Amino acid sequence: MMIHRTAVVHPDAQLDVDVQVGAYTVIGPSVFVGRGTVIASHVVIGRNVRIGAENRISSHVVIGTEAQDMSYKGAPSYVEIGDGNQFREFVTVNRGAHGEAVTRVGSRCLLMTGAHIAHDCVVGDGVIMANLATLGGHVTVGDRVVVGGLAAMHQFVRVGRMAMVGGTAGVTQDVPPYCIVQGTPPATVRGLNAVGLKRNGISSEGMNALKAAYRLVFRRGMTKENAIAEIEASVSRTEEVRHFLEFLKHASRRGVSRAERIEQPGLRVLDGGEPVPGPELVRRLVAEELDRRARDSRTEVDDVSGVGGGA
């Protein structure tokens, strides 16, 4: 164990073997730090924090301070962190405030510079939060989720397994597992996270079943209840589809994010009418325009021939 002489470690804190603590770091009471964890300089670990093994905590990280919540009145609250995580500079993780009053971070996560995890959040394993990504209170993030830089999630939002939240997205409703959301509030569902699914070894059968389930929920205009019933009746029940259904059936305080609205192509009628969508009309008008141009071209050839003959 290596503790810099300028570090301040509370007598009630427990540091396992091979823990390193950098200069001017402060570790408060009722803190446990697991073996092999490296804590850089100028870190603050408040109180009631349990940190697992082999974590890397960069300078100016703050973990285990009070919840940023006006209703919090100082009741006992906690932070629990798993193994093998990376906390980059200026990451902040607040203690819980309500209910079980625990903020949890899983294992093997990468929290980039300035990421913030608010009170009572639950973050799964293998999560990546890019620079300045923010979770409001009581947010739940599933395993292997990727959250883009500057993205922000409203309180009580749920983000399903292997989902991807695009950079700068404003997420105000639940993000189903395996999906991508993007956009300013409210962020909308843009499709399946195909690249993430492939990287995580999802089989072709699983991919096809997910595509079918996704279309029923987001592309057929059904209610959520009818889409769930149709999936249960007609889609192969792979592990991914089962998890997708469980997420949709779970009680939600925020509702599920809507799909991006795809504008259909339309043409404005010359008399000032509204745009008329539909490929049939487009094909007909294109054919008429091509016929008109062909007639004009034949007429131009005839006129030129006539002039040449007269000369």
* Catalytic (active-site) positions: 119-120, 137
Query: What are the φ/ψ torsions at residue 216 (nearest 5 degrees)?
Result: -65, -35
For helices 224-234 and 239-249, give the axis angle rounded to 10 degrees: 160
User: Before 186, cis peptide (omega within 30)?
Assistant: yes
Please list, in sequence order, all residues whose beta carbon lies within 8 angstroms of the beta carbon of residue 36, skipping any fewer than 6 positions away. 16, 17, 18, 19, 53, 54
The 3-state DSSP class for residue 151 equals: coil
Phi-psi region of 191 (alpha: psi -120 to 50; beta: other; left: phi over 0): left
The 3-state DSSP class for residue 117 equals: strand
Looking only at the bridges linking them, the beta strands covering 49-51 and 31-33 are parallel
Cα three-residue angle 80-83-88, rounded to 5 degrees: 85
Q: Are 44 and 63 in contact (CB under 8 A)?
A: yes
The Cβ of residue 163 has, within 10 Å, a number of other Cβ atoms equal to 28
Closest CA to 47 of 89, 84, 10: 10
Per-residue b/e over 28-55, b at no fewer than 16 CB within 10 Å? Answer: bebbebbebbbbbebbbbbbbbbbbbbb
Looking only at the bridges linking them, the beta strands covering 140-141 and 56-57 are unpaired
